[in-house]
Amino acid sequence: METLHHVLNKMFGVSVRRAEYKETELQGGTVGDVRLIEGTFETENGDKLPYKFVLKTQGKWERPGDPDSWRREYDLYLSDLGEVFRPKCYHAEMSGDKFQIWLEYVEGVSGNALTTEMLEQAAYEIGRFQGEIFSKPELVKDLSNFGDTGYLKRDYEQWHSPGKSFEYSYLRSAYCALPQHLKQMIFDIDDNMDTLFDRISKLPVVLCHRDFWLENIIFSDGKIRLIDWDTSGWGYLGEDLASLIADDIDFKNFEEYCQRLIPAYYRGISEYMDISGIKDRFIREMILIKFGYRMVQAFMFAENASESEEAVQALQKVFSFLSKISN
């Protein structure tokens, strides 16, 4: 209750006499507990006001190759990086191997309700954010708890694993019914892995959100807010955009997303960086690196013909767009 009074004081700038609250569990990640805290409180002047905020509790856990990611949001919210386009943080505290952060509750549009125009703005904003951090490294000079640039390759290698990845073995088996040209598209990524990652490593290194998809984007009052920053870290230009275009989307929109979100991203990042020599193709390759085997997995575990066809069409959309670029 003492902490609640403190948070309400920061939210409203008034002294709190008493407060009541109720908790509602919100959809969170797999390791964090996220709750909506709402109710009314009474000020010292006798006014009664409603309030609403989000309480996130995170315990220690270890992500392979990124052991301190569990506390990254706590570190970010206590940093001088500013609000960027995150929700406001009213209070944060660490106790042993657990932290809690009290965050602004942002009401807005998220998930599949986001329009292409909203996603276009999100692409522009993440590009602008990355460009600004790239050009002003002093903004993050005191922050050491970011993931490293090896994240993309480590994530890919979990799929590219003969004898360990079911998807890798399935794709090469006689009973994989995917069209040959789509299988070959994935094979080409596998066969040229070293060359592709060598080319990617020459791209500018930027600060990535790394979980940049529909459910973590909120459009509110004409602005974009991003939640769940625990995987954020140093990565390569375009990683976040590849996620935005391909992660859990309706692939009927894939071509439109490529045509609109990539230029929006470039506009944003170009406000701070010269990227005139960078070509579009690497973003499509990143899509296959990040999601190619996931699309195979969707086909592999499809429960009916409709789901199988959707998985094939998703891969076909990527193939068609890559072919246009190649030609």
Q: Tell me, yes or no, whether 294 and 307 share the same domain.
A: yes
Which residues are bridge partners to 51 per DSSP? Answer: 39
Q: Tell me, yes or no, whether 72 and 114 share the same domain.
A: no
Q: Tell me, yes or no, whether 48 and 115 share the same domain.
A: no
Predicted confidence at residue 263, as pLDDT, reads 94
Predicted confidence at residue 30, as pLDDT, reads 60
Per-residue DSSP letter, 54:
E
Q: Tell me, yes or no, whether 135 and 201 share the same domain.
A: yes
- For residue 10, CA distances in Å to 15, 42, 100 come to 9, 15, 16
The full length of the chain comes to 327
Predicted confidence at residue 197, as pLDDT, reads 95
Predicted confidence at residue 29, as pLDDT, reads 57
Per-residue DSSP letter, 268:
H
pLDDT single digits (tens) 295-306: 999 999 999 999
Predicted confidence at residue 294, as pLDDT, reads 94
Predicted confidence at residue 109, as pLDDT, reads 97
Q: Tell me, yes or no, whether 139 and 122 share the same domain.
A: yes
Predicted confidence at residue 326, as pLDDT, reads 54
Q: What is the CATH number of the domain that holds 87?
A: 3.30.200.20
Q: Tell me, yes or no, whether 142 and 229 share the same domain.
A: yes
Which domain-ending residue is among 88, 104, 120?
104
Q: What is the CATH number of the domain that holds 234?
A: 3.90.1200.10
Q: Tell me, yes or no, whether 181 and 80 share the same domain.
A: no
Q: What is the pTM of this model?
A: 0.92
Q: What's the CA gap between 124 and 265, in Å, rounded?
A: 4
Predicted confidence at residue 28, as pLDDT, reads 57
Q: Tell me, yes or no, whether 85 and 132 share the same domain.
A: no
Q: Tell me, yes or no, whether 139 and 270 share the same domain.
A: yes
Tokens of 142: 């005191």
Predicted confidence at residue 277, as pLDDT, reads 84
Q: Quick check: helix, strand or coil at residue 204?
A: coil
Which domain-ending residue is among 54, 88, 104?
104
Q: What contacts 19, CB < 8 A, 6 or more positions away? A: 1, 4, 5, 8, 39, 40, 41, 42, 51
Which domain-ending residue is among 104, 119, 150?
104
Q: Tell me, yes or no, whether 92 and 153 share the same domain.
A: no
- β-pair type (205-208, 233-236): antiparallel
Query: Could you say which residues of the chain have pLDDT below 50?
Result: 327
Q: Tell me, yes or no, whether 10 and 129 share the same domain.
A: no
Predicted confidence at residue 51, as pLDDT, reads 97
Judged by phi (left if over 0) then psi (alpha if -120 to 50, else beta), residue 163 lies in left
Contact of 135 with 273, CB cutoff 8 Å: yes
Q: What's the CA gap between 255 and 137, in Å, rounded?
A: 34
Q: Tell me, yes or no, whether 42 and 156 share the same domain.
A: no
Tokens of 300: 């592999």
Judged by phi (left if over 0) then psi (alpha if -120 to 50, else beta), residue 10 lies in alpha
Looking at the structure of the chain, the number of domains it has is 2
Domain span holding position 10:
2-104
Q: What's the CA gap between 60 and 121, in Å, rounded?
A: 34
